[in-house]
Structure 1
Amino acid sequence: MDMRGKLALVTGGSDGIGREIALQLQAAGAEVIVTGRSADKLQAMAGLGFVTIASDLSTPAGIDAVVNGVADKPLAILVNNAGVGSAYDLDQPSTLESAAHCIRTNLDAPIALCTRLLPVLRAQPEAAIVNVTSGLAIAPSTGSVYCATKAGLRSYTQSIRHLLKDSRVRVIEALPPVVETNMTAARVGKKMSAHDCAAEIVHGIRTGRREVNAGMVKLLQMVHSISPALARRVMLRF
């Protein structure tokens, strides 16, 4: 896809991987709208030439704000990147609300945006939906609910790719590894930079990939193709 002149929407586009995707799409010639929850970060993105939409995607009002903000525009690229972690603890029922918030943001919101913005995407000469899942969608670690949302989004992405196979809308899944972001700040160990992860995702959009396995996810995908059970064992110890 030639991104020059295309209109793109990047959810969670004011920070982390989303911010880098937005910057690189802009550098490739796209006009980019970003969503986010932080007024300060959105203001900073506006200063860089981005259109911004303040939105908490865990709420119906937040979904409405995004849809209403782009529904009358020639949207060609939808990047469902926004995501949150969960404080879910199997032995603590009090964490169920955190789990529900994670599900609403990571799974319900992308499904809603794909569904409600599909008519706009279909109307373009070429379009792309990019759902950002995770290597954890292939094999989970012990972060149960977060992993479940990413696995659910992976399954949904594969399903709609089949449904849209005869349309002008390409469906891409991006699977990052552990990336250096605010969400992973407390984690130790090797992390991929947000810039490098975004570069692989944007390259995947440009070249028409169905899946973008970023960084170490390439190795995980290889192990999983040989032995899914081994991949699960490795990741559950991760």
Structure 2
Amino acid sequence: MQISGKTAVVTGGSDGIGLELARLLQSKGASVIICGRNEQRLEETRKEGLKAIAADLSTAEGCSEFAGSLNNETIDILVNNAGMSGNFGPDDPLDLALTDKAIFLNLNAPLHLIGQLLPQLQTRPEAMIVNVTSGLALAPRGGGPVYCAAKAGLRSFTQALRHNLKHSSINVVEALPPVVDTSMTADRDGNKMSAQECASQIVSAMESNRPEANVGMVKILQLVNSISPALARKIMLRF
């Protein structure tokens, strides 16, 4: 895809991977609209020339309000990046309210936005939907069952959507990041990819119209999973 001259919407674009994606797309000549919940961070991004809209995508109403705010825009690229962990460990109680919120934001929100913005995207001569899932969509991590389930669901939806739109002008890309250094992973130890490098690899996949962007160490996980899904699950459940 030729990014210059396009209008891109990036959800969860006020920090982390989303912000770096927005910055990189803008640097390549796109007009970028982001959304987020933190007004202070949104105001900072406006200083960078990004159009920032306050939105809570963890509810159907929030998704509809955000999609409605884009009615006067010509959208070429939709990047569904917003997400949250909603995790619980072996010794933690399952917070059902948090679980519902996490599943909606990670899985339902992209479906809602795609459903509401698809008519706009279908009018464009070249358009793209990018769904940011996770390496954990391939094999779950024991400490993050809710997040893994939602991302696996989004991966499955993305694959089916790509098939359904294969004869249209819309390319469907799935981005599968590894552990990235963001506010969501602040309590995690170990090696983390920078958000800038993650965004760079995702945009590279967008420019070349690759159906999947297996980012960083996810390339190795994808290889292991293709040889032995059982081994991939065994490794990641203990991760």
The alignment's TM-score, normalised by the length of structure 2, stands at: 0.97
CA distance in 1, matches of 2:200, 2:22: 11
Q: CA–CA distance in 1 between the matches of 2:84 and 2:224?
A: 27
Output the aligned Cα RMSD: 1.2
Aligned residues: 238
Q: How does 1:163-182 map to 2 (within 5 A)?
A: 163-182=164-183
The worse-fitting range, judged by mean Cα deviation, of 58-67 and 166-175 is 58-67
Equivalence map 1:96-115=2 (5 Å)? 96-115=96-115
Q: Deviations over 1:151-202 (max 9, x none)?
A: 0000000010000000000000000000000000110000000000000001
Which residue identity is paired with 2:170?
V
Residue type of the alignment partner of 1:124: R
Which residue matches 1:217? Answer: 218
- TM-superposed CA distance for 1:69, in Å, is 1.6
Q: Does 1:127 align with 2:111?
A: no
1:64 offset after TM fit, Å?
Answer: 1.8
Equivalence map 1:80-229=2 (5 Å): 80-88=80-88, 95-142=95-142, 143-229=144-230
**Residue ranges of structure 2 left out of the alignment (5+ in a row):** none
Q: Please, which runs of 5 or more residues in structure 1 have no aligned partner?
A: none
Alpha carbons of structure 1 residues 99 and 90: separation in structure 2 relative to 1, 3 Å: farther
The one-letter code sitting in structure 2 at the alignment partner of 1:3 is I
Contact persistence 2:60–2:112 (CA under 8 A): no
Deviations 1:11-34 (A, max 9, x none): 000000000000000000000000
Look up the match of 1:27: 27
CA contact (8 A) 2:36 2:55 kept: yes
After the TM superposition, which segments of 4 or more aligned residues of structure 1 sit over 4 Å from their partners? 89-94
CA distance in 2, matches of 1:133, 1:204: 14
CA contact (8 A) 2:87 2:145 kept: no
| Structure 1 contact 88–98 (Cα < 8 Å) conserved | no
Shift of 1:70: 1.3
Aligned partners of 1:216, 1:93: CA distance in 2, in Å? 31
Residue deviations 1:27-71, cap 9 Å, x none?
000000000000000000111101111011012231122211212
Q: In percent, how many aligned pairs have the same letter?
A: 54
Contact 2:84 2:106 in 1 (8 A): yes
**Secondary structure of 2:100 counterpart:** helix
- What corresponds to 1:55 in structure 2? 55
CA distance in 1, matches of 2:94, 2:232: 31
Partners in 2 of 1:87 and 1:219 — Cα distance?
Answer: 24
Q: CA deviation at 1:89?
A: 5.6
Code of the residue aligned with 1:23 in structure 2: it is R
Compute the TM-score of the two structures, normalised by the length of structure 1.
0.97
Correspondences of 1:7-18 after superposition (within 5 Å): 7-18=7-18
Tell me which moved more, 90-99 or 200-209: 90-99
Instruction: Tell me how far apart the structure 1 counterparts of residues 109 and 146 of structure 2 sit (CA, whole Å).
Output: 15
Q: Which amino acid aligns with 1:71?
A: N
